[in-house]
Amino acid sequence: MRKKIVVGNWKMNLLSAEAATRAAELAKLVGFEDSVEVGICPAFLSLAGVSLVLRESVIGVGSQDVFWKSSGAFTGFVSAEMVRDAGCRYAVIGHSERRGRFGKLEVEESTLPFFGETDETVNLKLKATLAAGLVPIVCVGESLAEREAGQTDAVIAAQIAGALDGVEDLSTLVIAYEPVWAIGTGKVCDSTEANRVCGFIRSQVPEAYRDHVRVQYGGSVNPGNAAELFSQPEIDGGLVGGASLKPEDFIQVINAAK
């Protein structure tokens, strides 16, 4: 049986001291009960501090992105080896916001080319993440326009094919289904449809790994909807945004996965 995994994506929130405090509060709530795998992904500058706070906790730490080169003249980028050195267990790859696909646009539209993640760069980052010994969380999902055009499955199939191209060992892979139109909007994909899409995602993974790969749902997960979503047979947990910033809310989401 696949172990449920619930990971909080803190995005660009919390200064280092506050991130460490929130992590400590969450660790007390989680305790040492590990029937659900739990992780949090703070901003880069908080990774080392949060990892130190959680060094004796069952909670793992993850980065929100990695670069595919291990070193070199790449100003402003952070390698998979660097985040592992900071204490990370996980790395999120290809989040819709990195791809410039926002459910709620909070930047000038003219700046969208800055968010230039592609299926090719997701693939490169996946290979680097695996080589560094990190657990990859690869994000896929459709925009509202793509869903309304009936292109959900085709878009996701292409994203998975691009991400997994040439990758042989998928035994630690986690895939997060995040319908772009549900990210930061308060809209949630119907649990039955979310389950169908997560099952479709699993069908796109090489058959030898289908029983191993865990598929999360991400998109406005909160204490009020987590139990229904996580009860679906194809949904193996969640990639949680806003609700993960408050330990008292996040623990309810975690408990819903038990």
Active site residues: 95, 178
Q: Is-contact 36 237, C-beta < 8 A?
A: yes
Q: Is-contact 32 62, C-beta < 8 A?
A: no
CA 127, 129, 135: angle at the middle one, nearest 5?
120
CA 84, 89, 90: angle at the middle one, nearest 5?
100
Q: Per residue, what are the HEC states of 120-161?
A: HHHHHHHHHHHHCCCEEEEEECCCHHHHHCCCHHHHHHHHHH
Q: Among 235, 239, 233, which Cα is nearest to 220's?
A: 239
Question: In angstroms, rounded to a whole number, what is the distance separating the alpha carbons of residues 198 and 232?
Answer: 10
3-class state of residue 5 by DSSP:
strand
